[in-house]
Structure 1
Amino acid sequence: MALPWPIRIAGVGRYLPERVVTNAEIATLCDVPVEWIEDHCGVRERRWAEPELGETNSWMAAQAINEALEEAEFDGRSLDLIINASGTTEQMIPDGGPLIQRQLGLEDTAIPCVSVHSTCLSFLQGLQMAGALLTAGTHSKIALVSSEIASIGLEGAERETPSLFGDAAAAAILTSSAEGSSQFESIRFETYGAAAHLTEVRGCGSRRPPNHPDTVPADHVFHMDGPAILQFCLDRTEGFLERLVPGLSQELGDIDIVVPHQPSRVGLQAMFNRPWPEAARVDTLATLGNMVAAGIPVNLYEAVHLGKLTRGSRALLWGLGAGVSFGGAVITY
C-alpha cells in the first residue's frame, strides 16, 4: 500500500501520574550523588505511577484516550478499534486491550482490541498499523494508546536505570482525511537482532519461567548495557535517517518539528547531533524521563498543545527500541 496515506490525528490526550519523583529520592534509592543523575542521565524529575492506588496501565490508558476523544469530539462508542501499543503490561493474559476497553466503560460494545509490542517503538508500530487499516477502508475511527509503568521493574537494576525512567500514558484518535490535507508521508522500521540482549528483561516468558529453579528476581528487572547500545545505534542512525527520507541526516528540509523518543541525555544528543535547528524539537526528558513507548505520543501532545505542531505542519516522529530497532515517520498534521 503506497504512501502517502490520507490519515488525520483527530485528537491527542495524555495522563501523567500524580507522584513526582525527584533526584534526591533516586539518589537515596541508587546510592549515587544527586548531581550525577542529571549530569549523566539528563533527568531532573520523573512521574511514577502507584498501581496500588488505582493508577494501573489500563486506567492510565483510559484517561489518555478519554482526553483524546474529547479533543476529537468523538464518542467512545464510535470507535471501531482500540490499539494498545505499550512496552509494559498490566498482566500477561489477557493483553492490555480488553482491560483498557473495560476501563473506558465500553465492555459491552464488542469494539475489537489488539496489542502491539515493540518496546519504545510500540506507538509508531501502532501508527503504521492504524494507518494501513484506515487507508484500506476497513476502519474509520481508531484509538491508539501507549501506557507505561516502567517504575515497577527498576528496583535492583543498574544505577542508571531508575534514574532514567518515568511513567506516563498518551493516546491519539486516528481517522481518514481528505486527499492533500493531513497524511502519513513516510514510515520505516529496521531491526538488528545482533544486539537483542543489550537491553532486556529475561523473565516473564519461557526463557525464565516463574517456577524454574534457575530463575532469580534479577530476571524480572530491566537490564541495559548503555555504552554498547549507544555505540551500536550511533553506527546506524545516519543510514536509517537517509533511508527514511533521503537527505534527512543533514537537513530537515520542510519538516517543522521533530518529536522524538528520548532514551537519555547522551542518547538525545546522539539523535540530534546533526545540522537541525534547535527550535525544531520537543524535549521533555528533564521533567518526565524516558517513558518507553509513551515518550513519542507524550511529546506529540506537547507539540500540539504548545502550538509547535499545527494543522498543515510537518513532523518527524522517530526513535529507537530494544531489539535493536529503529523507527520513524514523517506526517503532515
Structure 2
Amino acid sequence: MYNSRIAGMGAYVPENVVTNDDLSKMMDTNDAWIQERTGIQERRHIKDGDGNTTAVMGVKAAKIALERAKMTAQDIDMIVFATLSPDYYFPGCGVQVQEMLEMRTVPALDVRNQCSGFVYALSTADQFIKTGMYKNILVIGSENHSGGLDMTTRGRSVSVIFGDGAGAAVLTREEDNGKGILSTHLHSEGKHALELSLKGPSTMEWVPELIEKDPQEDIPYYPYMNGQFVFKNAVVRFAEVIQEGLAQNKLTAADIDMLIPHQANLRISQFVQKQFKLNDDIVYNNIQKYGNTTAASIPIALTEAWEEGKIKEGDTVVLAAFGSGFTWASAIIKW
C-alpha cells in the first residue's frame, strides 16, 4: 500500500470584491450585523464578462497546482471535481477540466458533497493512489454561488455568507507511509438533508412548476438554511471527526501544527478552536476575505496557509468540514 501526498496546490478567486457595505445597498443588512453573525467582511463574486465559471475557475487553480507540483496536465491519471454549482445540470465539471487542459482520456469523477466535498474528493483520490491504480490525481473544489443567490432582504440570511472561488491539489504517490495523507474519515446523516438544501429545479420540481409559484413565498431554487440547527450540529460533528482522526493516528490536539476548517462561519471555527484549546496561529481562517466558498474553502485556505509559510515539511495538518447532507469529514496529513 502506498500513501498519497499533496505535491502542489493552487487557488483562484474572482477579482470582483463585494463588501458588506455593497450588500447593504441591495438588501436590509449592514456590516456590523454580518460580521457579528459570520465574521465575514467581504467575498468575491463572478462578474458578467469576466469569463469565469465553476469549471473555468477550477482550471485556473489547477494550473497553479500543476506548476507547483512540477507536472503537466499529461502527467495526471484522474480528475476528481467537487462542487454543488456545476456549469451544467449534466455533464459534470470534471470532463470540462479534462477538455480545457487538453488531457489524455483520463477518468473524471464529480463529487456532490457540498461543504465536505473537497475532503470527500481528497479521500477518494487517496484511495485510488493507495491501491496503486493511479499515481497522480488532480483534485479540485470550485463554486459559483453568486449566480444562484437571492440578493434581496428575503434571502439575506443565506446570501451574505457565500462567495465564489476555486482551489486545487495534485496528489501523487508517496512510498514513505509516514508522510502524506495518513487517514481520512467520512460521515453523513441524511435525516437532516433538507435543513440545508436547494430543492429545485430538480427531477421532483421542474422549471415550469417553479414559474407558477407565488414569488412572495419561499422559492425552492434559492438555497434554504436552518441556521441555528446547522450551527449546533456543525460544532458537534467538527469536534467528533477531528478527534476520530487524531485517535486513529495516536495523536492529540497538542500534535496539531495547523487546523484548516471548512470556512462555514468564523463563529463555528472559533468554537471548535476553543474546544481543542488551540492557539490562534494553529487555526487558519480566511472567511473574512472570501466568505463560504463551500467545496473550494478548504483548498483555498490550505493553499494560502502554505503560501504564507504556516505549513512546513513534517507538520501535522488537519482538515475538517461539515455541511449540507448533513455530511462531515476530516483528513490527517503529515506534510
Matched, 1:245 2:242: no
Counterpart code for 2:242: L
Report the counterpart of residue 42 of structure 2 in structure 1.
45
Match of 2:71 in 1: 74
**1:113 aligns with one of 108, 112, 128:** 108
CA contact (8 A) 2:58 2:97 kept: yes
- 8 A Cα contact 1:26 1:162, kept in partner: no
Instruction: Report the Cα distance in structure 1 between the residues aligned to 2:179 and 2:4, rounded to whole angstroms.
Output: 6
Greater Cα shift, 270-279 or 308-317: 270-279
8 A Cα contact 2:140 2:169, kept in partner: yes
Distance 1:237 1:78, change over 3 A: closer
Alignment correspondent of 1:330: 332
Whichever residue aligns with residue 49 of structure 1, its letter is: I
Corresponding residue for 1:102? 99
Cα RMSD for the two superposed structures: 2.1
**Once the 2 structures are TM-superposed, how far is the Cα of residue 35 of structure 1 from its aligned partner?**
2.0
State how far apart, in whole Å, the 2-side matches of 1:284 and 1:154 are. 21
In the TM superposition, 1:16-27 aligns within 5 A as: 16-27=13-24
- The residue that corresponds to 2:10 in the other structure is 13
1:86 pairs with 2:74: no
1:188 to 2:180 alignment: no
Task: Give the structure 2 partner of residue 122 of structure 1.
Answer: 117
The aligned amino acid for 2:313 is R
Q: Which residue of 2 aligns with 1:226?
A: 227
**2:266 equivalent in structure 1:** 265
Q: Which amino acid aligns with 1:198?
A: E
Structure 1 gap segments, 5+ residues each:
none
Cα deviation for residue 225 of structure 1 reads 0.9
Letter in 1 for 2:233: F
User: Counterpart in 1 of 2:299?
Assistant: 297
In 1, distance between residues paired with 2:237 and 2:63?
Answer: 38
Deviations 1:183-217 (A, max 9, x none): 22221112112211110001032222223368647
**Per-residue Cα deviation, 1:118-169 (whole angstroms, up to 9, x for no partner):** 0011111111111111111110111111111111111256312221111110
Pair 1:213–1:284, CA change in 2 (3 A): closer
Evaluate the alpha carbon distance shift between residue 63 and residue 236 of structure 1 in structure 2; reply closer, same or farther with a 3 A threshold. Answer: closer
The answer to whether the aligner puts 1:64 opposite 2:68 as a matched pair is no
What are the superposed Cα offsets for residues 97-136 of structure 1, whole Å, 9 maximum, x if unpaired? 1112222233xx2122111110011111111111111111
Matched position secondary structure for 1:29 = coil
User: Structure 1 length as normaliser, TM-score?
Assistant: 0.92
Residue 206, structure 1, aligned to residue 216, structure 2: no
CA spacing shift, 1:81–1:28, aligned 2, 3 Å: same
* CA distance in structure 1 between the aligned counterparts of 2:102 and 2:18, rounded to whole angstroms: 31
Matched with 2:127 is: 132
**Deviation at residue 50 of structure 1 after TM alignment:** 2.5
> Which residue in the other structure is 1:306 paired with?
308
Query: 300-309 or 214-223, which moves further after superposition?
Result: 214-223
Separation in 1, partners of 2:84, 2:272: 21
Aligned residue pair count: 327
Aligned to 1:55: 52
Structure 1 Cα separation of the partners of residues 44 and 228 of structure 2: 25
Determine the structure 2 residue equivalent to 1:318: 320
For 1:86 and 1:72, how far apart are their aligned partners in 2? Answer: 23
